[in-house]
């Protein structure tokens, strides 16, 4: 059995590439890296890799993470500038036993030493978005919350599971701001003996629930991924509303070791992509009732 699930429609072309690897008994690490790279390389996705929208200083700062569910090893980069594929740097870091999560210049020096491709990630299109936003909101620049991160969970035929994320974070974020995406347990978590989860939405709120770990914990108790996703999202939403009156955007995808999957979201419409041996890469939309 193999399978892969991802946040947002933008993951579809990457998932099509991953399908080829998984369908020929390939490795869940190779499949997920290939799928995320496809999203990072596409210039018109405004929230991941090349073409990602910049921070308030007009710099594209990227966050990414990779986790191997067999060994539980993790690699992550945050606030990384000027490298084409943050996911590949994160995966390389997952082979280290210490210094697995690097930020800013430290991450860039590592990437340089390891020979990763340098690239200016700020496109003209992203610059125009930036300039328009500055004009619109001269007085109060707010990070835009409706931003899409790619997060995936993958299972291969050998039973190995992986999880990965990649994002440019929130448009107009402060320099150095890091969200949930590169943070283990928040943006992603995977254990091949149970399953994995990944999140997208307002990082500051997703982190308050360590939401990906929470989903895996619920699946470990025998809960179906769909139930686990719903419980994690709506309990966190309720908790935040009770404590302070509002909750940010929270969306998640999950898959267990048997290839069963789940998704939940508290936003009006959340798209995701799933692919299984009997299901070609398919985009679904989850709509909030009421
Ligand atoms: C972050 N969670 O940096 C990311 C952004 C995102 O949909 O996923 N937006 O907070």
Q: How confident is the model over 68-86, as pLDDT tens digits?
A: 999 999 999 999 999 999 9
Exposure class string for 207-229: b at 16+ Cβ within 10 A, else e:
bbbbbbbbbbbbbeeebbbeebb
Q: What is the DSSP letter of 84?
A: S
Strand, coil or helix: what is 75?
strand
Report which ligand 1 atom has the smallest distance to the Cα of 149. Answer: 8
Q: Taking 70 as the threshold, does the pLDDT of residue 141 lie above it?
A: no
Residue 224 backbone zone (phi > 0: left; psi -120 to 50: alpha; other: beta): beta
Q: Taking 90 as the threshold, does the pLDDT of residue 147 lie above it?
A: no
CA of 181 relative to ligand 1 center, distance in Å: 7
**pTM exceeding the 0.90 threshold for the entire prediction:** yes
CA of 58 relative to ligand 1 center, distance in Å: 18
CA of 113 relative to ligand 1 center, distance in Å: 29
- Is the minimum distance from the CB of 148 to ligand 1 under 6 angstroms? yes
Q: What is the DSSP letter of 48?
A: S
- Is the minimum distance from the CB of 200 to ligand 1 under 6 angstroms? yes
- Is the minimum distance from the CB of 147 to ligand 1 under 6 angstroms? yes
**Catalytic site positions:** 149
Residues 249-276: what's their mean pLDDT? 97
C-alpha of 38 from chain center: 13
- Ligand 1, atom 8, residue with closest C-alpha: 200
Q: Taking 90 as the threshold, does the pLDDT of residue 166 lie above it?
A: yes
Percent of the chain with pLDDT over 90: 91
Q: What is the mean pLDDT of the chain?
A: 95
Q: How confident is the model over 192-227, as pLDDT tens digits?
A: 999 999 999 999 999 999 999 999 999 999 999 999
- Is the minimum distance from the CB of 29 to ligand 1 under 6 angstroms? no
CA of 144 relative to ligand 1 center, distance in Å: 10
Instruction: Please say whether the beta carbons of 287 and 40 come within 8 A.
Output: no
Residues 41-48: what's their mean pLDDT? 93
With a threshold of 0.85, tell me whether the complex ipTM lies above it.
yes
- Is the minimum distance from the CB of 251 to ligand 1 under 6 angstroms? no
Q: How confident is the model at residue 271 (pLDDT cuts 50, 70, 90)?
A: very high
Across the beta sheet with 279-287, the strand order is: 101-103, 74-80, 62-68, 161-167, 150-155, 3-7, 269-276, 279-287
Token output for 148: 């899409």
Task: For Cα atoms 155, 159, 161, give the angle at the middle one, nearest 5 degrees.
Answer: 40
CA of 39 relative to ligand 1 center, distance in Å: 15
Report which ligand 1 atom has the smallest distance to the Cα of 200. Answer: 8
Q: Taking 70 as the threshold, does the pLDDT of residue 145 lie above it?
A: no
- Is the minimum distance from the CB of 38 to ligand 1 under 6 angstroms? no
Per-residue pLDDT at 181: 98
- Is the minimum distance from the CB of 181 to ligand 1 under 6 angstroms? yes
Per-residue pLDDT at 136: 78
């Amino acid at each position: 059995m193999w399978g892969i699930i991802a946040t947002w429609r933008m993951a579809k072309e990457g998932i099509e590439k991953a399908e080829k690897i998984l369908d020929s008994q390939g490795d869940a690490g190779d499949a997920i890296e290939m799928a995320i790279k496809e999203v990072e390389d596409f210039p018109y996705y405004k929230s991941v890799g090349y073409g990602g929208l910049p921070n308030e200083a007009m710099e594209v700062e990227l966050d990414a993470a990779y986790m191997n569910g067999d060994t539980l090893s993790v690699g992550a980069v945050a606030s990384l500038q000027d490298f084409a594929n943050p996911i590949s740097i994160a995966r390389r870091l997952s082979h280290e036993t210490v210094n697995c999560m690097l930020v800013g210049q430290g991450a860039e020096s590592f990437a340089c030493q390891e020979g990763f491709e340098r690239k200016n990630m700020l496109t003209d299109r992203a610059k125009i978005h930036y300039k328009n936003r500055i004009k619109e909101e001269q007085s109060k620049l707010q990070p835009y919350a409706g931003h899409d991160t790619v997060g995936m969970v993958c299972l291969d035929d050998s039973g190995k599971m992986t999880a990965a994320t990649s994002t440019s974070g929130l448009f107009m974020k402060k320099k150095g701001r890091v969200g949930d995406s590169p943070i283990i347990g928040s943006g992603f978590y995977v254990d091949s003996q149970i399953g994995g989860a990944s999140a997208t939405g307002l990082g500051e709120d997703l982190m308050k629930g360590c939401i990906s770990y929470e989903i895996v914990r619920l699946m470990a108790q025998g809960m179906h991924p769909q139930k686990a996703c719903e419980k994690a999202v709506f309990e966190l939403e309720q908790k935040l509303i009770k404590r302070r009156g509002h909750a940010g955007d929270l969306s998640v995808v999950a898959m267990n070791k048997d290839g069963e999957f789940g998704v939940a979201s508290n936003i009006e419409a959340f798209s995701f992509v799933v692919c299984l041996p009997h299901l070609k890469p398919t985009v679904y939309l989850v709509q909030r009732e009421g």
